[in-house]
């Protein structure tokens, strides 16, 4: 089911190309259209198709990385299928009417996944970098940061509970370490790098404790890739926010250790 959707999309692109040829009377126009609009989906389809066949022939599971932009570290990696579903927050992931539509998008993907596969969940970094501190300051500090983190983990936990009840084989990808990124989205209140690092550390600690309490597998990328002050180690940074693909081998080892599966 997973790769069939890409097959249908690819067929759709081919039909559009045919229409372009008929309308403009030239193959060059269709080639231009395909390069600009169809190539990305086509390559993605071919890679996912290959990954699925490869995994099924070997009798091994795929890892479906679902979440915010941090899943992009796994793009193009064998046996990883990546679903970047926009800019979802862990807090709103449980809400079916959130602006990001993340709940519906997550469970729509889950419905297409083979029950033998693994789901790698990446949510919470946007909460830590932006929303927790912003909400803390908007209420004049009446809600402590620790309380807002607790509420966020509790909301995220409701989704995890639902996935567990469905029998989904999932593992959590912890929030990466903080960086000194600027307030590029111009939020009214934005934490200093020092406070940002503290929030990331607190959130990961509480999320890890929640996972241990409920028996959810958790990958602690924060401790592995941060320095003594809680900032992302430069040699593992892709940019001002994201870890690079160097994190992949560590994640593979964590999956093997916690789930007993070699990727």
Q: What is the pLDDT of residues 43-65, one digit of tens each?
A: 666 677 777 777 777 788 999 99
Q: Which pLDDT belongs to residue 32?
A: 47
Q: What is the pLDDT of residues 139-173, one digit of tens each?
A: 999 999 999 999 999 999 999 999 999 999 999 99
Q: Which pLDDT belongs to residue 44?
A: 66
**Would you place residue 184 in the very low, low, confident or very high pLDDT band (cuts 50, 70, 90)?**
confident
Average pLDDT, the chain: 87
Q: What is the pLDDT of residues 75-123, one digit of tens each?
A: 989 889 999 999 999 999 999 998 899 999 999 999 988 888 999 999 9
Compute the distance between CA of residue 18 and CA of residue 30 in angstroms, rounded to an integer: 7
Q: Which pLDDT belongs to residue 169?
A: 97
**What are residue 178's DSSP bridge partners?**
231
Q: Which pLDDT belongs to residue 228?
A: 94
Average pLDDT over residues 28-51: 57
Encoded tokens for 119: 């789901």
The residues near 156 (Cβ < 8 Å, ≥ 6 apart) are 90, 91, 93, 94, 123, 124, 207, 210
How many CB atoms are located within 10 Å of the residue 120 CB?
A: 24
Q: For a pLDDT cut of 90, what percent of the chain falls above it?
A: 70
Q: Which pLDDT belongs to residue 55?
A: 75
Whether the CB-CB separation of 110 and 164 falls below 8 Å is answered with: no
Whether the CB-CB separation of 217 and 211 falls below 8 Å is answered with: yes
Three-state SS across 192-254? Answer: CHHHHHHHHHHHHHHHHHHHHHHCCCEECHHHHCECCCCEECHHHECCCCCECCCHHHHHHHH
Phi-psi group of 16: left, alpha or beta (phi > 0 → left; psi -120 to 50 → alpha; rest → beta): alpha
**Would you place residue 25 in the very low, low, confident or very high pLDDT band (cuts 50, 70, 90)?**
very low
Q: Which pLDDT belongs to residue 254?
A: 98
């Amino acid at each position: 089911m997973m790769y069939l959707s890409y097959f249908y999309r690819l067929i759709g692109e081919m039909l559009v190309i045919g229409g372009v040829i008929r309308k403009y009377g030239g193959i060059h126009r269709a080639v231009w259209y395909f390069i600009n609009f169809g190539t990305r989906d086509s390559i993605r389809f071919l890679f996912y198709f290959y990954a699925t066949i490869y995994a099924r022939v070997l009798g091994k599971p795929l890892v479906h990385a679902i979440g915010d932009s941090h899943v992009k570290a796994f793009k193009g990696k064998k046996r990883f299928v990546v679903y970047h579903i926009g800019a979802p927050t862990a807090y709103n992931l449980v809400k079916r009417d959130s602006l990001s539509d993340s709940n519906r998008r997550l469970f729509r993907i889950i419905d297409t996944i083979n029950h033998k596969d693994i789901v790698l969940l990446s949510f919470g970094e946007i909460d830590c970098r932006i929303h927790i501190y912003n909400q803390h300051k908007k209420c004049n500090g009446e809600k402590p940061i620790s309380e807002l983190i607790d509420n966020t983990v509790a909301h995220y936990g409701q989704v995890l509970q639902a996935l567990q009840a469905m029998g989904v084989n999932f593992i959590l990808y912890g929030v990466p370490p903080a960086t000194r990124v600027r307030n590029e989205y111009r939020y009214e209140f934005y934490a200093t790098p020092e406070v940002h690092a503290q929030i990331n550390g607190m959130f990961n600690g509480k999320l890890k404790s929640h996972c241990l309490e409920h028996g959810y597998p958790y990958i602690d990328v924060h401790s592995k890739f941060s320095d003594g002050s809680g900032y992302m180690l430069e040699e593992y940074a892709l940019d001002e926010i994201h870890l690079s693909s160097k994190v992949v081998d560590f994640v593979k080892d964590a999956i093997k250790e916690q789930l007993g599966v070699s990727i």
